[in-house]
Amino acid sequence: MVDRLVESESRKLLGRLSAVMAEGGAGQARLDRIVGLIASSMKTEVCSIYLFRDAETLELCATEGLKAESVHQTRMRLGEGLVGRTARTRQVVNTANAPGEPGFRYMPETGEERYSSFCGVPIQRLGEPLGVLVVQSKNAREFTTDEVYALEVVAMVLAEMTELGAFVDTGAALSARHQQAVMFKGTSGQEGAAEGHVWLHEPRVVVTNPIADDPAIELERLRHAVDKLRVTVDELLSGATSAHPDQVQVLETYRMFANSRSWMRRMEEDIESGLSAEAAVEKEQSLARSRMNRSGDHYMRERLSDLDDLSNRLLRILTGQGRDTGAELPDDPVLVARNIGPGELLEYGKKLRGIVLEEGSVGSHAAIVARAWAIPLIIHAKNITSEALNGDVILVDGDQGVAHLRPEETVKTAFRDKIAMQARALERYASIRDMKATALCGTTISLHMNAGLMADLPSLEGSGAEGVGLFRTELQFLIRNKMPKRAELSALYARVMDAADGKRVAFRTLDIGSDKVLSYMKPNDEPNPAMGWRAVRVGLDKPGVLRMQLQALIRASNGRPLSVMFPFIALPAEFYAAREEFEKAMERERILGHPLPETVEVGAMLETPSLAWAPDQFFREVDFLSVGGNDLKQFFFAADRENERVRRRYDTLDVSFLGLLDHILARTTAAGTPISFCGEDAGRPMEALCLAALGFPMLSMRPASVGPVKHLIRHCNLKALRGVIHEARDSGVASVRPAVTKWLTSQGWLM
């Protein structure tokens, strides 16, 4: 427990700080008064405030005790010196012998070599580092726990004041927050470009009163809000009786934190030290986020994430700032969020211009929905939710994985030129929508589209695709909080076939696992889920779900042709077992008197290298094969497609990978088995052209890619390109990409 005398002194300090803030004046003048106030209150010779001027550089913005001329002149990199170490680790550095500390940086311009004691406290808001508060003294001593605590309370208030713009002045370090142009480099989840205005999925909670006027009132506000929070969690738990045990466990964790005496005690101590109820909650939340960022333990990160979410709920109760802020969705919304589930994303609909997430993955359900809607998506855009405000102008470059927030005019102009060029290209593609993808050599390639939602199906007509080469059935499972019923699935699949209007639709059975986890199915804690219990492996181990889905597909066909394919087949035995389940479902439907499909195709996704060397009998007996390029490439190169460090190192046009594809084509040709290529590369014009030249007669891609791929195929000679590819491979190069690029350039069709 913090000493009551110190609490009283802390309240006095915050009261004096509040008075200083009320005096007004420019940001620099306020900072100058504050450092003098803190030095006097803490009885130290030095107090300094360092703020970030950019993501990697701290700048001395105010000081009492160091040389005045060093203000705005002294700078250090993140991690440099004791100040930089405090900022990088986001932890207090408290030492009686600063010059003797590893990493100490001597700065003669400040005169700080005369001071032995050093205490640096991070100034941070919700885990976002803003700067460092430093006190120093000549006496060689460590600052006490109570003194450090008092500095942390002050740092919390400084963070809130910085967020509210109390220290705005000239210079980069004192520039207004949330007004400067910022570029976020993430990962491309879906290609494309869009301009719009930010719409935050979780609006920011703004604490406007960090300092308490009356601690007793604030304590009562906190206790009332926590009581309300506990009731809310109890109600969620009582309504979750039919939920999956894992969901119940999360809510139990919420209840544990909501009833945590230590959490409550820490917030009460913060209030008694002078903070408002909101600031006390946010102070503990910032510390939790800081620990979460440092923790390498998955379980601990999850628990801290639960506490973070619970703190957000408590802040919304205290401030009344719920999701419904009264703001209207802009006409051109770009969704910005930490992460989002498929159900929540589908609620926004196709009105979104783009999506930018701090988390996510290239294979997540959000990415699948974004691809289906042809909406640019960027993932791993770190800290964008801390920087963006509702209504900010934002440019989303899904091709490069870059988001420009509040961009400069020159960036806007260049970006708009890019969008205009893409629009002109789309007009060009529309003119060939109803034409075949027939190359100059006379070879015709069948172009199909990937889908997973009813909303995708209008694209079948508009894109010029000849059918649906892959319909992802898992999305209907992912957007629900319980297992869908057979009748619901049957009705959906029937509507898909109706919308296809006689065109072929290849339904892929449930492909869950890896990064696609059902909330109502217990996930396995696997070290490598992409190679674990997923897809057909789940279906064979839980045949009830597979049978239900197969029955729904058969009933949906209602006498029409039906194409079904099983995902992630690694061994022929898995395909035979899955096909046997299909045959059992057919027999059951026959006995029940339901109409059977007019014709049936039962195929497999070839996504593992092992299946390429299956016995000849498998290739003769499977009705069709679809190469799942995304998974096949990651397993062939042992490069996780979710890992940015490795996934871009390996090229689809690498001669070794082309050799594998040649082998697969030779096997299917010998057996007379229809073959297609499905995946991101099928929708990239240069890669698609090479796949067609290799001999793939059918490609399946996102709807927006059909036009560009068809356009390029119609203007190229595939036989000539095949010769270029073979010549390059014979020459011993590692990749045929340079040779293909040179050939396309010579033809005037470089994409």
Q: Where are the beta strands (DSSP E) in 126-253?
A: 128-137, 182-185, 187-190, 193-200
Could you tell me if residue 330 is left (phi over 0), alpha (psi between -120 and 50 degrees) or otherwise beta? beta
Burial class (CB in 10 A: 0-12, 13-18, 19+), 484: middle
Lowest mean pLDDT among 112-121, 263-272, 368-377, 591-600: 368-377
* Domain assignment present for 427: no
541 vs 437 pLDDT, higher one: 437
Give the DSSP per-residue string, 421-440: HHHHHHHHHHTTTTS-EE-T
370-381 pLDDT, tens digit per residue, is 777 778 999 989
Are 567 and 703 in the same domain?
Answer: yes
Taking the alpha carbons at both ends of the chain, their separation in whole angstroms is 66
Confidence category of residue 298, pLDDT binned at 50, 70, 90: low
> Is the predicted pLDDT of residue 479 greater than 50, yes or no?
yes
Are 489 and 626 in the same domain?
Answer: yes
Q: By three-state DSSP, how is residue 590 classified?
A: helix
Top-ranked range on mean pLDDT: pick from 124-133, 512-521, 577-586: 577-586
161 vs 608 pLDDT, higher one: 608
584 vs 535 pLDDT, higher one: 584
Give pLDDT, residue 486: 87
Torsion of CA 619, 624, 630, 634, to 10 degrees: -10
Q: How far apart are CA 286 and CA 91, in angstroms?
A: 12
Give pLDDT, residue 691: 97
Q: By three-state DSSP, how is residue 47 classified?
A: strand
Top-ranked range on mean pLDDT: pick from 147-151, 313-317, 616-620, 704-708: 616-620
Are 87 and 112 in the same domain?
Answer: yes
> Is the predicted pLDDT of residue 529 greater than 80, yes or no?
no
- Is 356:370 a contact under the CB 8 Å cutoff? no
Average pLDDT over residues 625-649: 84
Give pLDDT, residue 354: 92
Give pLDDT, residue 169: 75
Q: How many residues in the chain?
A: 751
Average pLDDT score over the chain: 84
Q: How far apart are CA 420 and CA 422, in angstroms?
A: 5
Lowest mean pLDDT among 229-243, 271-285, 345-359, 442-456: 229-243
Kindly give the residue spans of alpha helices, DSSP state H, lying in 592-628: 616-621
* Domain assignment present for 676: yes
> Is the predicted pLDDT of residue 13 greater than 90, yes or no?
no
Average pLDDT over residues 268-288: 85
Are 300 and 347 in the same domain?
Answer: no
> Is the predicted pLDDT of residue 647 greater than 90, yes or no?
no
Give pLDDT, residue 665: 97
Residues 6+ apart with CB under 8 A from 103: 79, 80, 81, 82, 84, 85
CATH number at residue 698: 3.20.20.60
> Is the predicted pLDDT of residue 731 greater than 90, yes or no?
yes
Looking at 319, 346, 375, the residue that finishes a domain is 319
Top-ranked range on mean pLDDT: pick from 130-139, 150-159, 271-280, 446-455: 130-139
Q: How far apart are CA 57 and CA 615, in angstroms?
A: 61
264 vs 304 pLDDT, higher one: 264
Range of the domain at 106: 9-164
* Domain assignment present for 377: yes
Are 188 and 300 in the same domain?
Answer: no
Are 306 and 337 in the same domain?
Answer: no
HSE-up (13 A, CA, CB side) for residue 95: 17
What amino acid occupies position 421? M
> Is the predicted pLDDT of residue 670 greater than 90, yes or no?
yes
Q: Where are the beta strands (DSSP E) in 490-629?
A: 505-508, 562-566, 600-606, 625-628
Average pLDDT over residues 507-533: 63
Average pLDDT over residues 22-33: 81
Residues 6+ apart with CB under 8 A from 478: 341, 342, 343, 365, 512, 516, 518
pLDDT more than 90, % of the chain: 37
* Domain assignment present for 254: yes
* Domain assignment present for 647: yes
Give pLDDT, residue 311: 81
Confidence category of residue 209, pLDDT binned at 50, 70, 90: confident
Are 474 and 552 in the same domain?
Answer: yes
Q: Where are the beta strands (DSSP E) in 157-232?
A: 182-185, 187-190, 193-200
What tokens appear for 692 in the block?
């067609």
Are 647 and 531 in the same domain?
Answer: yes
Average pLDDT over residues 577-596: 93
Average pLDDT over residues 726-745: 94
Confidence category of residue 736, pLDDT binned at 50, 70, 90: very high
> Is the predicted pLDDT of residue 435 greater than 70, yes or no?
yes
* Domain assignment present for 326: no
Q: How far apart are CA 737 and CA 650, in angstroms?
A: 12
Are 490 and 613 in the same domain?
Answer: yes
- Is 430:422 a contact under the CB 8 Å cutoff? no
Residues 6+ apart with CB under 8 A from 383: 128, 184, 358
What amino acid occupies position 495? R
Looking at 376, 391, 422, the residue that finishes a domain is 422
Closest CA to 191 of 649, 686, 705, 639: 705
Q: How far apart are CA 314 and CA 254, in angstroms?
A: 12
Rg (CA), the chain: 30
Number of independent structural domains in the chain? 4
What tokens appear for 78 in the block?
């993140």
> Is the predicted pLDDT of residue 6 greater than 50, yes or no?
no
CATH number at residue 272: 1.10.274.10
- Is 18:1 a contact under the CB 8 Å cutoff? no
> Is the predicted pLDDT of residue 516 greater than 60, yes or no?
no
Are 729 and 607 in the same domain?
Answer: yes
Distances (CA, A) of 554 to 278, 490, 539, 558, 680: 57, 8, 17, 7, 29
Closest CA to 48 of 21, 82, 20: 82
Average pLDDT over residues 644-667: 89
CATH number at residue 399: 3.50.30.10
CATH number at residue 105: 3.30.450.40
pLDDT more than 70, % of the chain: 87
Give pLDDT, residue 532: 65
390 vs 5 pLDDT, higher one: 390
CA 487 to chain centre: 34
* Count of C-beta atoms within a 10 Å radius of residue 305: 16
Q: By three-state DSSP, how is residue 224 classified?
A: helix
Give pLDDT, residue 590: 93
Give pLDDT, residue 239: 63
Q: How far apart are CA 742 and CA 728, in angstroms?
A: 11
Give pLDDT, residue 4: 47
Confidence category of residue 5, pLDDT binned at 50, 70, 90: very low
* Domain assignment present for 567: yes
169 vs 81 pLDDT, higher one: 81
Average pLDDT over residues 327-339: 86
Average pLDDT over residues 409-419: 83
Looking at 319, 341, 358, the residue that finishes a domain is 319
Residues 6+ apart with CB under 8 A from 593: none
Q: What counts of helices (H) and strands (E) characterise the chain?
A: 27, 23
* Domain assignment present for 177: no
Burial 348-379 (b: 16+ CB within 10 A, else e): beeebbbbbbbebbbbbbbbbbbbbbbbbbbb
74-121 pLDDT, tens digit per residue, is 998 998 999 999 999 888 999 999 888 888 887 777 766 678 899 999
What is the value of pTM for the model shown? 0.65
Give pLDDT, residue 749: 74
Are 147 and 195 in the same domain?
Answer: no
Are 197 and 220 in the same domain?
Answer: no
